[in-house]
A and B are shown apart, each in its own frame.
Chain A
Amino acid sequence: DIQMTQSPSSLPASVGDRVTITCRASQDIANSLAWYQQKPGKAPKLLVYVASRLEVGVPSRFAGSRSGTNYILTISSLQPEDFATYYCQHTYTPPYSFGQGTRLEMK
Chain B
Amino acid sequence: QVQLQESGPGLVKPSETLALTCTVSGGSMSGHYWSWIRQTPGKRLEWFGNIYYSGITNYNPSLKSRVTMSVDMSKKQFSLKLTSVTAADTAVYYCARYSGYALDFWGQGTLVTVSS
Interface residues of A (CB under 8 A from B): 1, 32, 34, 36, 42-46, 49-50, 53, 55, 85, 87, 89, 91, 94-98, 100-101
**A43:B109 contact, CB within 8 angstroms:** yes
For chain B, the count of residues having a C-beta within 8 Å of the partner chain is 24
In addition to A43-B109, A55-B102, A89-B47, 13 A-B residue pairs with Cβ atoms within 8 Å of each other are: A32-B101, A34-B101, A43-B94, A43-B106, A49-B102, A49-B104, A55-B104, A85-B43, A89-B103, A94-B59, A94-B60, A95-B61, A100-B44
A91 and B97 alpha carbons, distance in the complex (Å): 13
Interface of A is mostly: loop
How many A-B residue pairs lie within 8 Å, measured between CB atoms?
60
Contact with A along B91-105 (1 / 0, CB 8 A): 000101011011110
Interface residues of B (CB under 8 A from A): 43-47, 49-50, 58-62, 94, 96, 98-99, 101-104, 106-109
